[in-house]
Structure 1
């Protein structure tokens, strides 16, 4: 659902203060949840679906909440990124490592800051939601799998705590540029990976666009001695108002409903100047926007997508565009996979690592120039 038309005040944590009516409607959404989950559980037994019950319940609850709350309601119940990171650290028995730059840009570390390789991760959330603890756990598992396959070299992750709405474009890109610029003097580009999930992937393509098409209003173009080791795009949301047929075909299969995607995309686009729409929305980019110079920014690209995603067709179009200008673009299509499936597999408390996560770790190891074990 869309953002409320009434301007909101925000509390000391940066969360919106809801009106009485907003709080009441949110309560009604939450009260309906147990009945939906009960129906889902009963229906799964009748239909004898092969999808695990924990996934069905998680996807039903996600689809219900995302499709029936306003931006401000969703933000209110989601909390803050720093609380999610601290919750993960406590559960994982890790000491929180928070790095704050002079300009206020902040990252949360998963793993040692002096690891052999560093992955900068931009979480998903539609430019609306914060980091979640399960995303930290997903990253923890991915880094552990990298170490297992690399037989020695270690990968750590810096999670970018980027600003969400109502903070507008290009703040998110500027924060990524700021941290990357601070990291590169101490870590060579060919030991740095970029990873973006959903809206986080949009931030990565914004950064590349700002280098391919510099503007005075945007961060300076990246000046790399060698390309970055690789870029991982997890269910990239780069068409802010998607138009692919999969938006209708998978509307009841995916956990990310079209109504939410369009509401978030419309809200984010409002903050993008007309002359800069192409930087934030691939559908606004003219032919030839991405050029072979992209290969000078990142050595390899991996796109992951599920064939049950609402974004499936729009992601396929983006992948085709990237493949026309970059010689090393790979795609992993997960049969039956929903939006950011391997990430939400962790959220649904699946006991084993997703096969997609294992394949992504293999790609990271190979991109590092290591033969996987």
Structure 2
């Protein structure tokens, strides 16, 4: 499927966007040694400040014109690594029992590694439900597969990164159905759920929890899916689990992270179809439902989740604006898990001090020759799921 080229959003708007960022970068660079409230490194501090400034005002037409599509990023990644691209079309409405067939609604899944690998990571990328995947996702999973698959003591692994639909063009619960259709596709092509790891970061982490919620409590507007056995695991990297921006971490970490509060509110409203007349204006507080905002549920919601997925790992950074929302949600999830009979040690949450939002992904691009503790702990968890 090919999408029409995005319309040019205009030189005036793009020029104003860049002009706002330049003085911010200069100010942060000059004042870095003298400020107590700052990111962990000089480059993070300057870069994140510029990114926050851009995200505060950038519009969807501007991001559509400036950003390559997920498919374009994937093809560029494959070309640079001299590997053959392999994308599949997932029929969203035709792949699940009880769904209305509509072959016109398909999404692309992009393989990183051999689709016949022993274990597959179904990956849902971040971007506030409105932005396409960036290069870092492909690099992260490519590196992990290359390093893991040479070890005969572990099962081989590949990743299917789903190019699910973006808001506001398509809204909730479309993205949940698309992700569920990709999972169903893997199962229908002969793969046991016990060989599938559900994973995602930021909005993709929240979407992963939405899919798990749907598997346990079928959404009334979506076809249900019954698993023959629990999924192998769920890896949630800086998951966007609640839409509230009232947590203390939005103030405490306001100058040490890359995200921006009004941007999160705008993008959440676009995803939920709750935008004001001007979708680019700040809608104020935004709330979802049990599926779009799964960690707004109480412990009872999560009882029985151990029958859906065998192990769950939450990773988040101490410098994240989303830190408190994730940190406060984990105990509720874990209590419901154990009340339903799940073993407590199978739900793991790790906070990396001074880690920023989705740092395990970001640092693959910014520091490709280094491996921080945030990546080490995630890779160790993954390898344990792959032991023979």
**Fold conserved between structures, TM > 0.5:** yes
User: Deviations along 1:287-324, whole A, 9 cap, x unmatched?
Assistant: 34523211011100000100111111110122112111
Deviates more, 1:194-203 or 1:354-363: 354-363
Q: 1:243 to 1:46 in 2, by over 3 A?
A: closer
Find the aligned partners of 1:18 and 1:311 in 2 and give their Cα distance: 33
Find the aligned partners of 2:287 and 2:375 in 1 and give their Cα distance: 38
Deviates more, 1:288-297 or 1:39-48: 39-48
User: Deviations along 1:206-230, whole A, 9 cap, x unmatched?
Assistant: 112222322441131x322221110
Q: 1:352 to 1:165 in 2, by over 3 A?
A: same
Find the aligned partners of 2:332 and 2:76 in 1 and give their Cα distance: 39
**Alignment length, in residue pairs?**
354
Equivalent residue, structure 2, for 1:3: none
Equivalent residue, structure 2, for 1:309: 320
Equivalent residue, structure 1, for 2:340: none
1:94 is displaced (CA, Å) by 1.5
User: Deviations along 1:222-269, whole A, 9 cap, x unmatched?
Assistant: 322221110011111021233311111111111111121111112222
1:33 is displaced (CA, Å) by 3.3
Equivalent residue, structure 2, for 1:9: none
User: Deviations along 1:325-359, whole A, 9 cap, x unmatched?
Assistant: 22321011011011111111123244312322221
1:364 is displaced (CA, Å) by 1.2
Find the aligned partners of 2:9 and 2:76 in 1 and give their Cα distance: 28
1:270 is displaced (CA, Å) by 2.1
1:135 is displaced (CA, Å) by 1.7
1:17 is displaced (CA, Å) by 3.0
Could you state the TM-score of these two structures normalised by the residue count of structure 2?
0.83
Please tell me the root mean square deviation across aligned C-alpha atoms, in Å.
2.7
Could you state the TM-score of these two structures normalised by the residue count of structure 1?
0.86
Give yes or no for the alignment of 1:208 onto 2:193: no
Equivalent residue, structure 1, for 2:370: 352
Could you tell me which runs of 5 or more consecutive residues in structure 2 were left unpaired when the two chains were aligned.
93-105, 276-285, 338-343
Does the aligned pair in 2 maintain the 1:89–1:96 contact within 8 Å?
A: yes
1:324 corresponds to which of 324, 335, 339:
335
Find the aligned partners of 2:293 and 2:35 in 1 and give their Cα distance: 39
Deviates more, 1:231-240 or 1:23-32: 23-32
Equivalent residue, structure 2, for 1:258: 261
Equivalent residue, structure 2, for 1:7: none
Equivalent residue, structure 2, for 1:144: 146
Find the aligned partners of 2:151 and 2:301 in 1 and give their Cα distance: 33
Deviates more, 1:300-309 or 1:42-51: 42-51
Equivalent residue, structure 2, for 1:24: 12
Find the aligned partners of 1:108 and 1:342 in 2 and give their Cα distance: 20
